[in-house]
Structure 1
Amino acid sequence: MLSIRAAKTHRGKRELEKRAPKLVETEKKTLLLHGKKSNSLLNQVLTDIHILKKGESIKYTRKNDNIRPFEAGGETNLEFFSQKTDCGLFVFASDSKKRPDNLVMGRFYDHHIYDLVEVGVENFKSIQSFSYDKKFAPKMGSKPLVAFIGEGFENNEELKHLKEVLLDLLRGEVVNNLNLAGVDRIYVCTAVSANKVFLTHCALRLRKSGTSVPKIELIEVGPSMDLVVRRHRLPNEGLRKEAMKAAPDSTKKKIKNVKGDPILGKTGKIYIPDQKIGEASLPYKVKGMKRERREAKIHKNVDEQSSKKQKADSTIST
């Protein structure tokens, strides 16, 4: 049976609150780990990703024998590490004769594997292999741009899936407002063929252009590599619907007597108080009122004459 974890210290309570579901989720942390067999190239790839995602990634150096993400039962240890570290993404490196220089990238939902993309790494260049002026190096905590170039990201299902995973992996924290001074780097993903993507990391340099809009230059700062798609696994439809559910916005105030209609759009009810026609002011010269005024004048004269007659009769009787 599953046991409910209760915090015994204030620090543990804060940690459980961080991991609790939120209306607006924070940036996903990335888990970096090795398989049963690895090599120096894959170790350098994971190290460079760890540098780019400094503060938002956890890197394990030991080799793991029983992790096979695409096989049934081979994802148990991976899901355990996700629950232990509270990571929503992972990059798993392994090397074999059948699949050399292999990377498996994927996402978690509720600490269970959501989807998987397996790629092979070719033509890798690490950060140390690039020579550039250090003052143009991207600063820690800056917000990166991500550019996807090529029709393959719109037409090819494999590249379309790889685009989603790379965007989650590279974009960092989702923000509403952005300071342009903090945008100093860009990831460029180019679809070379139906199953190959060239990925590079560049720094942005602003130069004078003679106008108010500066000229932008790209300085390659690494890493760069070719990613060849080998396998991918999409989430099933039920899991996708569950993961895409959005919590109702409790801050939005409901407007009375207003509702939305798919055809009419926004509709509402307006309540008008009872009209008091008798007290309404009308223009003086109205044809319909002349007869009423004449009749009222005649009745007034008749009443006056009758009252005078009554007074005269009363005096005679006395």
Structure 2
Amino acid sequence: MTPVFRFAPSPNGRLHLGHAYSALLNERLAQAWGGRFLLRIEDIDIARCRPAFEAAIIEDLSWLGLSWEVPVRRQSEHFDDYRRTAFLLKRKGLLYPCFCSRKDVADAVARREAATGRPWPRDPDGAPLYPGTCRSLPSSEAESRIASGEPHSWRLDQPAALKEAPGPYFYDSFRPEGRAHRVVAHPELWGDTILVRKDTPTSYHLSVVMDDAIQGVTHVVRGRDLEAATDLHVLLQRLLDLPTPRYHHHGLVLDPLGDKLSKSRGSEALHELRERGIDAATIRRHLGFSADSEHLEPNDAGNQGQHR
């Protein structure tokens, strides 16, 4: 089987060195293993994603010397695919409508913490687990509220999902040099995750699992900050009868203070480095991707994110 790799940025800001590292690593592995390299635009966030940012992504990746197969898959062009899959999960009784706002969830968790004197459990991203407020709503009430146009998301009924697709759960994790080992996954740590958002017919978790299967992705190479999400993705793949790719969660490129680079924190973008006169060859060398370099993993040191 031909290995298939992908780089899947969201066009909600400009790319930084962390994105460049991930894209270059995917391309290098695809070349080294005789595989294919895909670009996917993950633009389900219709409120934040912009065509201008997508154009900038193409410009930055081309400047770095990357090339990819066409056509490029844009998630916003495939909302019907996600709707159909969500409908299948609903029909199996694995999703339920949730009318809670973030404030509603925060207030419910605060009340429970006050009542018990103990901290409420959090998911791997640090957010409080959903307390199940809407899980037991009578179907007649839920249908009436939906019919009235009340905003709602759809959550995974995790107890039902774990019963529908019982464990154990696992995936194969590989290293760039080829070594692999089996990782035990714990999707229960995520609780009743939102799989269909209020403002769009999908979520990151649902769309990324579907897209990887649709595009035949065999090797998912992404940052260590998404490692915990893989546990949930393994469960979704089981529920949807989809293949589980091999995964590699690479180290992160950090800023001088030791924090990961982030669009939201205003990390220096690739186009800003370009405007300072830094060329693509220097960026590739800085990240360990010069022609003679065998370095494939950032060292998670603060100076990795500061070009010198």
TM-score (norm 2): 0.24
Q: Which has the higher helix share?
A: 2
Larger RCO, structure (CA 8 Å, separation 6 or more): 2
TM-score (norm 1): 0.23
